[in-house]
Structure 1
Amino acid sequence: MDKKILIVEDDPNISNIIKMNLTLVHYQAVQVYDGLAALEALEREKFDLVILDVMIPKLDGFTLMETIRPRKVPVIFLTAKTAVFDKVHGLKLGADDYMVKPFDGIELLARIETVLRRYGKEETEMRIDDIRVYPDKRFVTLQGEPVELTPKEFDLLLVLLVNKNIALSREQFLDKVWGIDYYGDTRTVDVHIKSLRKKLKLQDRIKTVFKIGYRLEV
């Protein structure tokens, strides 16, 4: 059964982005936009994890954490606050992790998976057509058969999946996959995209966006 995650975030755009990423890896996502609504959802349903913004209306995240802790539900704090005190305070209240906005979708999924694994939950699976991607094992199958990808090809595939239907520039791919310290030519992105298309039969899915880069069309 898919794991159920409660998103407590008062910014609808951020909440929707989180939900899109969670849905991609087959989590169930429930969205609420203030602390009291979160409290009602926790009373009404059972969740495997809570993504909790600190600065939310009606009941702030730190106060809400006091009511979540006895339920033994893992919590990842998500907030724009960067002060060390806030991080320490959140972790002392019992949070399992702490992310500062703006955040990267792949990093958020990785942290969720790490926390759930700590609680004995199952690994996530990402799907597109006949392709199955297992981020933790860094393993890919096509029609049930393993496909050998290089480390960079695998990371590039994850970036495409997390940002499905969004056009990313070659520079963005370099930043997310090769890192900000990479000084090579952007043509390396083209080479890796060509290889992914061939190995996973994604010629019709990975679209070239003129003068920009690439988009995984789902």
Structure 2
Amino acid sequence: MMSETAGGAGARILLVEDDPSLQIMVRYNLEKAGYAVETAGDGASALALAGSFRPALVLLDWMLPGTLSGIDVCRRLRELPGSRDVPVIMLTARSEEADAIRGLENGADDYLTKPCSMATLEARIRAMLRRVAGPSDVLEFDDITLDLVRHRGERGGRALQLGPTEFRLLEFFMRRPGRVFSREDILKAIWGENIHVEVRTVDVHIRRLRKEINGPEERDLIRTVRSAGYALDNSPE
């Protein structure tokens, strides 16, 4: 049409929608909300992406071009070991109750009739991800993964050498992607309210974090907001 691996902002969403304008609009809004989104315009592409992208949730249009309908794609997802437990929300212009039941009987977890508001769609996504997630010890945002149990971070498969403060700083941002925090907010969250630390200390650790997570060919995911602070953000400039 958080991140934590299974749920929350930052979760990976596969949007299967053949209408280009609708695809662009929904992807834009979901990415703005902090989700990592990949799109497919037909059933075959959707199944291929499901294996490589490993989505936490699939938004699946009922009517798709080619030989595979949304129902076919849903059924096949349930047959694949890597995606049989991934929640699927069916999106369709069909409004008859029988169609909704058919979608649910073929493996869909929820059913939403188009057109619908983005607020409604995002609410359904959040509810579904909360339902299946449970507590998670791994955070994901863009291509960064942070394992809170093993205290390890990776970006694109590359191990990150994070000091204790940089690790806490990255965890803080990854739990709240897209949100701008002032230096004072960051000081309180990372160092505590009763510890005196110079505000410029935040800038020093931000530079260290940037140096570690941003390789030579990688996009800087930490956005500096003039007169406001910093955010973990993968939105285009």
Q: Which residue of 1 aligns with 2:99?
A: 86
Answer whether contact 1:51 1:76 (CA < 8 A) is retained.
Answer: yes
Equivalent positions of 1:198-217 (< 5 A) are none
3-state SS in 1 of match to 2:58: strand
Q: Kindly name which structure, 1 or 2, has the bigger radius of gyration based on alpha carbons.
A: 2
Paired with 1:45 and 1:67, the residues of 2 have a C-alpha distance of 16
Gaps of 5+ in 1: 132-141, 146-217
Q: Which residue of 1 aligns with 2:47?
A: 39
Larger RCO of the pair (alpha carbons < 8 Å, separation 6+):
2
Give the ranges of 4+ consecutive aligned residues of structure 1 lying more than 2 Å apart after TM superposition. 121-131, 142-145
Q: Which residue of 1 aligns with 2:121?
A: 108
Q: Which residue of 2 aligns with 1:19?
A: 27
Paired with 1:57 and 1:44, the residues of 2 have a C-alpha distance of 22
- The one-letter amino acid of 1:66's match is R
Q: Which residue of 1 aligns with 2:198?
A: none
1:67 to 49, 63, 76: 76
Equivalent positions of 1:1-218 (< 5 A) are 1=3, 2-58=10-66, 59-70=68-79, 71-120=84-133, 127-130=178-181, 143=185
Paired with 1:35 and 1:48, the residues of 2 have a C-alpha distance of 18
Paired with 1:9 and 1:112, the residues of 2 have a C-alpha distance of 16
Q: TM-score, normalised by structure 2?
A: 0.52
How many percent of aligned residue pairs carry the same amino acid?
35
Q: Please, what is the CA RMSD of the aligned residues?
A: 2.8
Paired with 1:18 and 1:121, the residues of 2 have a C-alpha distance of 26
Paired with 2:120 and 2:16, the residues of 1 have a C-alpha distance of 18
> Could you say if the C-alpha distance between residues 102 and 122 of structure 1 is closer, same or farther in structure 2, counting changes exceeding 3 Å?
farther
